[in-house]
Structure 1
């Protein structure tokens, strides 16, 4: 028997606090079906989400990783590719996106963050999303892709138009940017991700130009909005927990742990879609071949069967969250995201430890694949650019 519920995760992604509704769904109907967006199943317990994410033979990504579909008409590589080819793409991309490869970017990212903070620290207020978080994410991605910093505003505008508005012309512009980059790297190789893709093979065969461009397109688009919005949510949580924020100000070595716990609470990418390749039973429900299935990371990350007192901020948890997903499709940009968010917290808490959200009603959110935050004004004690440095 199918358990039908009224539920739309897409609209919920723009809610200031989606967690009560998500918790009700997990508690009352952990394997549910909704008619929203032409119908899909929703898995919301940690165990069910974890098992489905690992079983790529039964739960495929190749028919699309988002509900509703992106509408772009192009495969998002490697996001919408199944093993074994997906494994080959990951192996190539990992050379440029794992912690060791990213270490060289820590100081440039830190310098960029400090420079941004220096522009608004004397004012005592800023829009942290537009003045720090989005520029930071764009700059960090630019380093990985070997793009000049002066192209940052242009790329940020293109990517946000695509992600927030579904602007297909923006998709074409971003595609064209990377097509031009790939053409240049063929003639002028550099030590960056596009050059690495140009010179790599998957399954013993060189990647086509289209495959390379789609890899770049996907990594850039996924790494911008998600990181910037995650940073806003993390800062909002710390603003609501001043005692925990004081701990981080006094003991900045705990910030890496804090990033993990904050990401668990935030779940910046609330869910990902799969398609059943065959009839399968999950819990007491049969999911038929061809039906879409939503893996709710945001619900799994607050499952009380796994995380004691799941809504509480606790920097000492030792259980792995699924904030970056799990299994073969675990977010390949996770190490870059952690690096950016750690640096952002270290520098911001050092410079403006008393920041507050100026007016929660002024925070601008939007629905989408990520829990989007377009604007979040904050206030703090004004300081000179050199304070605490």
Structure 2
């Protein structure tokens, strides 16, 4: 059993669509391109192999079903030594929690714990303090002219939040943020050789950093999460080196998950707020809409536009045969604009309070979703309360990516 062959004309058309996604115009507004792709079929063959899925219902079906798996270490090894999956950064990321499958995923996720109400309340106090400090700096810059919100706030809040929680020295935060941005290419849809090299170098440095951190915490344990994970894994794994490596992968995962996508959420949410004066006025008058504004931001332009899975067995997906081990690319950015799921999907509606796939679904639902929501809602509430209305100075530039969205700047001024 296998997926349908791709006619050369369809292959060229799909390659052309994805080439346009990498342009400045495509990055600024990829959704018309997604609509073109959806018009060619809600499930269609990808020219490089596997399938592209653009409908919400089918994306949700795959994420919820146990018959679809993560492309884990074993799967990547089967792809061969000269593929992107054999890159050192790809092999390393395959050992973090989001890339694991049961039963190992179940074991590691339980060891990680959760952001329960007590943890969120404690972190929330820290987030409020950091937000106030960052907005003070932003306000000061705005009084002198315009300011880059992405650099001053969006990039700073996540690293301060997770860095403080993990007990990482603040002097290390800027470098960890840079490394996080570089490693993401190994998780992109179609990385090139130079991008993979950047990811390889970044991942090697991150490995050295966090293994050193784990060894230091083993010598001087405290009440921080890394010390707690060491105690947990010492009870699960008799080999200390293996236990330390398990803790390393947990700490690495938490950092990567907390920084990249949350920073993008904060920038995208703020762009949606400041580009339309009526939205700022609406939230100022109805602050109870803040949670739904955040959720609509996650639907309208999620931080991650592509989630990939592989078939656990031969199956049929929306009428298309898929062989065991074959990959599907769930185009979440396209699914969130599916007219079969959402009324007027291209309109941003803060009253919508939608369901969405921005945090994935099923057993791989994002562990840090409560923390991302906390940061976004706290920032939004403080902005509309503390600052005069802001306006967009110019349209921001975007990183040339397909799967992981990122605004490179967000220049704002006082209205």
Whether TM-score is above 0.5 comes out as yes
The aligned residue for residue 103 of structure 1 is 121
The aligned residue for residue 44 of structure 1 is 54
**Taking structure 1 as the reference length, what is the TM-score of the superposition?**
0.88
Does 2:384 correspond to 1:365? Answer: no
* Contact 2:21–2:30 under 8 Å retained in 1: yes
1:199-239 Cα distance to aligned partner (Å, 9 max, x none): 22499546622222122112211221111112111112223
What is the CA distance between 1:116 and its match in structure 2?
Answer: 1.7
In terms of fraction of residues, the more strand-rich structure is 1
What is the CA distance between 1:23 and its match in structure 2?
Answer: 2.2
> 1 CA distance for matches of 2:316 and 2:388?
50
Unaligned runs of 5+ in 1: 382-389
The aligned residue for residue 160 of structure 1 is 181
**Aligned residue among 150, 160, 172 for 2:171:** 150
1:251-297 Cα distance to aligned partner (Å, 9 max, x none): 22321121111111111111111122322111121112222111122
What is the CA distance between 1:10 and its match in structure 2?
Answer: 8.8
> 2 CA distance for matches of 1:128 and 1:76?
34
* Contact 2:280–2:389 under 8 Å retained in 1: no
CA 1:328 to 1:70, structure 2 compared with 1: closer, same or farther past 3 Å?
Answer: farther
The aligned residue for residue 114 of structure 1 is 132
Unaligned runs of 5+ in 2: 77-82, 186-194
The aligned residue for residue 236 of structure 1 is 271
* Contact 2:311–2:322 under 8 Å retained in 1: yes
> 2 CA distance for matches of 1:113 and 1:76?
33
Q: How does 1:1-389 map to 2 (within 5 A)?
A: 1-2=4-5, 4-5=10-11, 6-7=14-15, 12=21, 15-35=27-47, 38-62=48-72, 63=75, 69=85, 71=87, 72=89, 73-74=91-92, 75-95=94-114, 97-124=115-142, 125-163=146-184, 166-201=198-233, 204-205=236-237, 208-360=243-395, 362-367=396-401, 369-380=403-414
**Taking structure 2 as the reference length, what is the TM-score of the superposition?**
0.83
* Contact 1:59–1:277 under 8 Å retained in 2: yes
Aligned with 2:308: secondary structure? Answer: strand
* Contact 1:99–1:336 under 8 Å retained in 2: no
1:54-86 Cα distance to aligned partner (Å, 9 max, x none): 22333343236xx96593031241111101221
> 2 CA distance for matches of 1:98 and 1:320?
22
What is the CA distance between 1:354 and its match in structure 2?
Answer: 2.2
* Contact 1:88–1:202 under 8 Å retained in 2: no
CA 1:202 to 1:265, structure 2 compared with 1: closer, same or farther past 3 Å?
Answer: farther
What is the CA distance between 1:142 and its match in structure 2?
Answer: 0.7
Q: Number of matched residues?
A: 375
Q: Which moved more, 1:130-139 or 1:348-357?
A: 348-357
Aligned with 1:372: secondary structure? Answer: coil
Aligned with 1:286: secondary structure? Answer: strand
Q: Which moved more, 1:198-207 or 1:123-132?
A: 198-207
In terms of fraction of residues, the more helix-rich structure is 2
Aligned with 2:407: secondary structure? Answer: strand
* Contact 1:264–1:301 under 8 Å retained in 2: yes
Q: Which moved more, 1:324-333 or 1:232-241?
A: 232-241
Q: Give me the CA root mean square deviation.
A: 2.5
* Contact 1:93–1:197 under 8 Å retained in 2: yes
> 1 CA distance for matches of 2:20 and 2:33?
12
> 2 CA distance for matches of 1:56 and 1:70?
26
CA 1:273 to 1:90, structure 2 compared with 1: closer, same or farther past 3 Å?
Answer: same
* Contact 2:295–2:354 under 8 Å retained in 1: no
> 1 CA distance for matches of 2:379 and 2:33?
30
* Contact 1:109–1:340 under 8 Å retained in 2: yes
> 2 CA distance for matches of 1:291 and 1:68?
16
* Contact 2:67–2:313 under 8 Å retained in 1: no
